[in-house]
Amino acid sequence: MMSRGVHQALYRYLPGSWVDFTQNGVSYAVRVDSWNSVQLTNINNKRLLRVANQRVMDFRNASPAGPMAVVGFPNVINEENCAVLTPKVSEQIGAIRTSVNPLLFVCDGCGKVKQYYDYSEFRRNEHKRCECGSHFKQLRMISFCECGYAVGLSPFCATKEHGRKYIVRRGSGLDFVCSKCGKNAVIQRNCPECHHKLEIKAALDSAHYFPFTLSLIDLLDKRKDIFLENETNGQGEKIVIGQYLALLPKSEYKEIIENGKMTQNDEFEELLRKKAEQFRNVGIDEVTISTLIEAERKVNAGVKAFAAIGQVEQGLSYTSNDELKPIAEEILEYDELVHAKVILSLEDAECDAEIVNDGIKPDYVGIAKALGFSNVQICSSVPIVFAAYGYTRKEREPSNEGVKLHGFPQEMEKKNIYATRLETEGVLFELDRRKVLNWLLDNGLIQNDDLPQDMSDYGIKMWFLDIIVRH
């Protein structure tokens, strides 16, 4: 068992990887078998699992092997069949379960090879010396395959009766021989799972293990998730984009989020009909009723929302509503940054510097604008979630049909991914879009005909969003 920091574990000590472990002054290569985990609370599990599911689907869809390219994942990664776990912090029990591997040891005196059957046998004989009096040292080499299979190196004699009993090493490399019959030992063999030839590398070489990780700003306001789920045909995403483009006032956007859905036109008209009837019952004349009802229509968030949706649909060149989801989520992350719990603007920094510098006020805002930034601010207490959801071996990209993305061993009732959350701070730099356009034009990356027809702030924002959607 090993105890490591949560963030260190998430990136360096994931199940299926090999790591270095030192105990009582002796260092071994060990394989991470599993974790001792607990449920991670106080995060937006729904969104994290949705993003992880999309990443896994992207890998599957990009692989020539299709569905066969992902192993150990549920059909859909969501709260029903997948848990978000984090290493258990305990002084008594280590968070990481490991075992010494490879179980191949070589005498540093005579070259005799000792191969233990399992970890228990190794523990019983760990301190025994060779017959020549020298110590056995672990040979830290493994065999692995792009399909995900990996095992400690284990040379053997092709003569079945000799097996691994008489193997010795000549020199300091991988030259093994059977001392009984003199044959060179077999060290390379085929993968038992996919039958491809296994490769050999040092156990601690990172080239045979590629963790798949992600990080995102944790959107704790789950009402936004509920709203996006309740709406169909991408309407939720279009509303988020619409408020970013200032097509919908913040107050009315907030009202829609609080309601959890948009009020449909027919529902709203039914509400107006009932209100009109109530006005009649208290003796209000028809002219006044008509005026009041029309005023209700003008301030109705639903009417403005549908108008905003129409403008988004007209301005963006998308072929599927699914293309809008990542943009909407990035906008929600941006909103979380801009409205972080604690922010410090350049104007605030200028005032603080003026106090320290005996009344001399620096022009941080002017410097930022000269550098092409429309806004710079420090954002504190920003909730960030770091997660790991799987790994590949030998190659990271899914272009090779044999490469498989593996999920982690299941610890509880559900499949699992691993994550941790922290509140951190950072600096938000927002580029001036007009200056970006001028730079693109000056450097020949776009032509005058490519510029937005509408050069208002709205038009430029829409132009950049459309470029993102199309690329």
Cα separation, 164 vs 183, whole angstroms: 12
Residue 135 domain flag? yes
Assess contact for 141 and 174: CB atoms under 8 A.
yes
Tokens encoding 470: 């199309």
Residue 175 domain flag? yes
pLDDT in tens, 299-309: 555 667 888 88
Confidence of residue 94 (pLDDT cuts 50, 70, 90): low
3-state SS class at 309: helix
| Residues 6+ away with beta carbon under 8 Å from 346 | 364, 365, 368, 376, 377
Q: Angle 377-378-380 (CA atoms, 0-180°, nearest 5)? A: 140
Tokens encoding 237: 């995403």
Cα separation, 81 vs 45, whole angstroms: 12
As a whole number, mean pLDDT of residues 443-456 equals 92
Residue 160 domain flag? yes
Please identify which residue in the block is written with the tokens 């599993």.
Answer: 34
Q: Looking at residue 269, what is its pLDDT?
A: 67
As a whole number, mean pLDDT of residues 132-143 equals 90
Tokens encoding 174: 């991988």
As a whole number, mean pLDDT of residues 434-438 equals 95
Residue 439 domain flag? no
3-state SS class at 385: strand
Assess contact for 203 and 29: CB atoms under 8 A.
yes
Report the domain count for the chain.
1
Q: Looking at residue 441, what is its pLDDT?
A: 94
Cα separation, 200 vs 470, whole angstroms: 43
220 has a pLDDT exceeding 70 = no
Confidence of residue 150 (pLDDT cuts 50, 70, 90): very high
Q: Angle 394-398-400 (CA atoms, 0-180°, nearest 5)? A: 70
Residue 171 domain flag? yes
85 has a pLDDT exceeding 90 = yes
Tokens encoding 268: 């709203």
Cα separation, 245 vs 460, whole angstroms: 10
Exposed / middle / buried, residue 212 (Cβ in 10 Å: 0-12, 13-18, 19+):
buried
Residue 195 domain flag? yes
Closest by CA position to 335, among listed 408, 396, 254: 254
pLDDT in tens, 239-293: 999 999 999 888 888 888 887 776 655 666 677 788 888 888 888 888 888 887 7
Closest by CA position to 352, among listed 364, 340, 367: 364
Which carries the bigger pLDDT value, residue 209 or residue 230? 209
In angstroms, what CA-CA distances link 426 with 352, 382, 390?
19, 8, 28
Is this structure's pTM higher than 0.85?
no
As a whole number, mean pLDDT of residues 154-183 equals 88
Q: Provide the percentage of residues in the chain whose pLDDT is more than 90.
A: 40
Cα separation, 451 vs 440, whole angstroms: 10
Residue 185 domain flag? yes
Residue 428 domain flag? no
Helix 301-315 vs helix 250-259: crossing angle, to nearest 10: 100
Rg (CA), the chain: 31
**What integer best gives the mean pLDDT of the chain?**
87
Range of 7-11, 279-283, 345-349, 431-435 with top mean pLDDT: 431-435
pLDDT in tens, 7-32: 777 778 899 999 998 877 888 999 99
In angstroms, what CA-CA distances link 229 with 62, 197, 311, 324, 408?
26, 46, 22, 14, 28
Q: Looking at residue 63, what is its pLDDT?
A: 93
Tokens encoding 243: 């408020």
Residues of the domain holding 130: 102-202
Cα separation, 380 vs 249, whole angstroms: 26
DSSP conformational letter for 313 = H
In angstroms, what CA-CA distances link 440 with 196, 243, 259, 447?
48, 27, 42, 8
